[in-house]
Structure 1
Amino acid sequence: MSQPDRTHDLVVWGATGVAGRLVADYLTEQYSPSELSIALGGRDKPRLGELEATLVDRRSAWEDIPIVIGDATEPGSLRRIAETTRVVCTTVGPYTTYGTPLVEACIAAGTDYCDLTGEVNWVRETIDRYHDDAVAAATRIVHSCGFDSVPADLGTQLVQSFAIDTFGTPCDVARIYLEDGRGEVSGGTLASAAEVFQAASEDPLAQQTLRNPYSLAPRGERNGVDPGAQTTVKKDSLRSEWTAPSPMALVNERVVRRSNALLRYPWGREFECTEVVPTGDGLGGLARASAVATGLKAVTAGMAFSPTREGLRRFVFPDPGDGPTREQTEDGYFTVRVLGRGIAGDGPFVVESQVSADRDPGYGATARMLSEAAVCLVRGEIDSPLEGGVLTPASGIGEPLADRLRQAGLTVAVDEWDGPPA
């Protein structure tokens, strides 16, 4: 837990952005000032003041919400903010561009930190540059606390804990299924994706990070038996249906492998995980899987080619800061399911977990995931042997986050699998 003698429990950094507003809105709705001391952070004081007035008008329990001013390009201002709070919860991306000084400030101040990043190249950079410093400072830097990568990471941890408790052994394989869902995409999310592809086109380390399935593992442990993400259409061996590659596998699979490594391999060194998009059986399922795979290849090719990427940025992508309305975020939904397969004394077994919500995955549900991850850090609700470092949701917080997400209205469940649907 961060130092107790701070002015604020939690600073929402980037509070006037799309995701930041949703986080601030959720936290002031869910908690009272006596339960959680919140400050709104950013560089635009008038916009922060407008947000504060809106929230106070909407929430009878909140008479005022403190505002802290800083700039992502001014490390001194970030350090001063970090010193006032126990946790910084940041939605300011692209993190490759704006995230590093805040990580440095939090480690220097001994302030816990959580974010929404899916920029795997930047996560690798923070691991290499700051993990040891964060360990020494007993500070938790917890990346990817939204749709990237809480459902996959926490869902896998739940499967493994259930397998160990029930069967006495972990699963040797986990399959993550990105099932039916609907949601909107903001300019900030697309800008972050473009940053990843731009870094891969210019930086050999970023290229290596995207190629190596174990690129987020600790130094000296970046190899193993897992071949990495599925790249073609395949018939799934567990659910007997067709699957396509998942656009989120690039991030989520690596986060899951890092969790296993940081926790000292409770799931075994030969553990494998794959994330896929299930599309059904028969010729219809095959056709849908082929369409998903073809579309993903087209998008990847377009983002990898610099002129196409810049054209998309200028003429197709919404501007950073633009995103779905509150009504749109409440109209979405998603389900992520994890099946873990193992072998015990009585033979093979399969465990199933589910993380789902009746809100937009990238914004409505993500705001709740990030918010509750931050509250876990504030309150020291941690089930992990690790006291600091550059961590994942599973290794940095663990199963208390599942409890909080259930209270926040998400479905988070785990049990022995009954078999494929009829």
Structure 2
Amino acid sequence: MATEQRPFHLVVFGASGFTGQFVTEEVAREQVDPERSSRLPWAVAGRCRERLQRVLERAALKLYRFYGEPVVKACIENGTSCVDICGEPQFLELMKWKYHEKAAEKGVYIIGSSGFDSIPADMGVIYTRNKMNGTLTAVESFLTIHPGPEGLCIHDGTWKSAIYGFGDQSNLRKLRHASNLKPLPVVGPKLKRRWPISFCRELNLYSIPFLGSDVSVVKRTQRYLHENLEESPVQYAAYITVGSITSVIKLMFAGLFFLFFVRFGIGRQLLIKFPWLFSFGYFSKQGPTQKQVDASSFTLTFFGQGYSQGLSTDKNKPNIRICTQVKGPEAGYVATPIAMVQAAMTLLNDVSDLPKAGGVFTPGAAFSKTKLIDRLNKHGIEFSVISSSEV
């Protein structure tokens, strides 16, 4: 008499322990292996729910950094579009280089950096361009994080992502060299980069260059809009405000430590093992508390310049200035899910407004003609014009 075969489930017990976290990563890695013909339902079990959650987050981070390509490849092979929040330029640009043509052939959309990195910045530049009564030529953005009374803390997953990204700069340079892309034309005066530490008079705050993926993503968007839609390219620079001179000094030392240690294997291991120490308390393995998340918010302010309609951009000085803002809740764990979900809803509902052929896109390239900004406005990420005037 044949016995009924029960479905098989794989459970990693003790996953919250030191060894268990590595077992969990190996199980997860096995499940995304492209050579596998099937997937097993699996779960984790342990004594501490919070530690289990951190183990899963760590596994997801490592897998997408090192095994994200099989996910992209599988989506294209199966005719499935994909939206993700990975913001690492090397991964994003490699996927564009390797899979854009294949995705276009399949008619699917692979859209990266669809979280806080880099929808506010990318769509913010497009919003600023759309609100200017003329030709926008250059934009500077300033990110301000508003912590609550209990301060600011960021989960070390973001810290690790930055470590892996900066540690891979040589490969990114090789990839860009191999792509052999022509420089975009500069319209109007060339945008001058600020000093590593500068004072923003408009905001009355000190600022440093923003080292996230925003500049890379916005530049790729501007290239697409120029080459495919014949739109005038916008120059872009990104900064983050740091408040007092004391904060400037702390961040300067943190940045120096980071840039030195990230160059070496043992240095990267130390950065990963002791995020709180080397980031001067900004990053931790525990991440923010719920109170910190609830009380935090962000403001991204854009200062743009350009030319009024009918004014030549060849010899004249820019005669229009515009200031816009994107405001939202806590960036990493509230705004990012909102941005990603609304990007996915836009992908599903605004099909006629997407690029006609599929491919690998930045958010701005994919969504510039859609209603994504309207959707974000309705869900707590608000775009607005602060001022606009002719000089």
User: TM-score, normalised to structure 2's length?
Assistant: 0.71
Please show how residues 127-138 of structure 1 align to structure 2 within 5 Å: 127-138=96-107
Please show how residues 217-366 of structure 1 align to structure 2 within 5 Å: 220-221=181-182, 232-236=196-200, 242-248=206-212, 251-264=213-226, 267-269=231-233, 271-278=234-241, 289=248, 291-316=250-275, 323-344=287-308, 348-358=319-329, 360-366=330-336
**Cα distance, 1:314 vs structure 2:** 2.7
**Cα distance, 1:351 vs structure 2:** 2.1
Q: 2:146 aligns with which of 172, 176, 181?
A: 181
1:413 aligns with 2:384: yes
Aligned-pair RMSD on alpha carbons?
A: 3.7
The aligned residue for residue 380 of structure 1 is: 350
**Cα distance, 1:278 vs structure 2:** 3.4
Aligned residues: 326
The aligned residue for residue 108 of structure 1 is: 77
The aligned residue for residue 147 of structure 1 is: 116
Distance 1:106 1:192 in 2: 23
Cα separation, partners in 2 of 1:188 and 1:178, compared to 1, 3 Å: same
Is the contact made by 1:217 and 1:261 (CA closer than 8 Å) also made in structure 2?
no
Cα separation, partners in 2 of 1:288 and 1:191, compared to 1, 3 Å: closer
**Cα distance, 1:406 vs structure 2:** 1.6
Is the contact made by 2:145 and 2:296 (CA closer than 8 Å) also made in structure 1?
no
What amino acid is aligned across from residue 181 of structure 2 in structure 1? G
Is the contact made by 2:138 and 2:305 (CA closer than 8 Å) also made in structure 1?
yes
**Cα distance, 1:302 vs structure 2:** 2.6
**Cα distance, 1:296 vs structure 2:** 2.5
Distance 2:354 2:201 in 1: 33
**Cα distance, 1:321 vs structure 2:** 9.1
Cα separation, partners in 2 of 1:243 and 1:313, compared to 1, 3 Å: closer
**Cα distance, 1:103 vs structure 2:** 0.3
Cα separation, partners in 2 of 1:384 and 1:161, compared to 1, 3 Å: farther
Q: Deviations 1:356-408 (Å, cap 9, x if unpaired)?
A: 223x2111111111111111112235644343111111111235221111221
Report SS of the residue matched to 2:341. helix
Moved more, 188-197 or 142-151: 188-197
Report SS of the residue matched to 1:221. coil
Q: Deviations 1:330-375 (Å, cap 9, x if unpaired)?
A: 23211111121112257611222222223x2111111111111111
Report SS of the residue matched to 1:278. strand
What amino acid is aligned across from residue 73 of structure 1 in structure 2? D
Distance 1:80 1:230 in 2: 52
**Cα distance, 1:195 vs structure 2:** 1.6
Q: Deviations 1:207-227 (Å, cap 9, x if unpaired)?
A: 446xxxxx4997533566578
Q: 1:93 aligns with which of 58, 61, 82?
A: 61
The aligned residue for residue 72 of structure 1 is: 32
**Cα distance, 1:109 vs structure 2:** 1.4
The aligned residue for residue 168 of structure 1 is: 134
Distance 2:381 2:266 in 1: 41
Cα separation, partners in 2 of 1:390 and 1:195, compared to 1, 3 Å: same
Cα separation, partners in 2 of 1:255 and 1:224, compared to 1, 3 Å: same
**Cα distance, 1:412 vs structure 2:** 2.0
What amino acid is aligned across from residue 226 of structure 2 in structure 1? R
Q: Deviations 1:288-336 (Å, cap 9, x if unpaired)?
A: 5555444323322232333221112234479999644555432321111
The aligned residue for residue 55 of structure 2 is: none
What amino acid is aligned across from residue 350 of structure 2 in structure 1? G
Distance 1:370 1:403 in 2: 14
The aligned residue for residue 19 of structure 2 is: none
The aligned residue for residue 32 of structure 1 is: none
Please show how residues 210-221 of structure 1 align to structure 2 within 5 Å: 215=176, 220-221=181-182
Distance 1:373 1:407 in 2: 13
User: TM-score, normalised to structure 1's length?
Assistant: 0.66
Report SS of the residue matched to 1:192. helix
Segments of 5+ residues of structure 2 without an aligned counterpart are 1-8, 13-28, 42-58, 278-282, 312-317
**Percent of aligned pairs sharing the same letter:** 24
Moved more, 234-243 or 143-152: 234-243
Cα separation, partners in 2 of 1:326 and 1:134, compared to 1, 3 Å: farther
Cα separation, partners in 2 of 1:71 and 1:382, compared to 1, 3 Å: farther
Larger Rg: 2
**Cα distance, 1:105 vs structure 2:** 0.8
Distance 1:409 1:78 in 2: 40
What amino acid is aligned across from residue 379 of structure 2 in structure 1? A
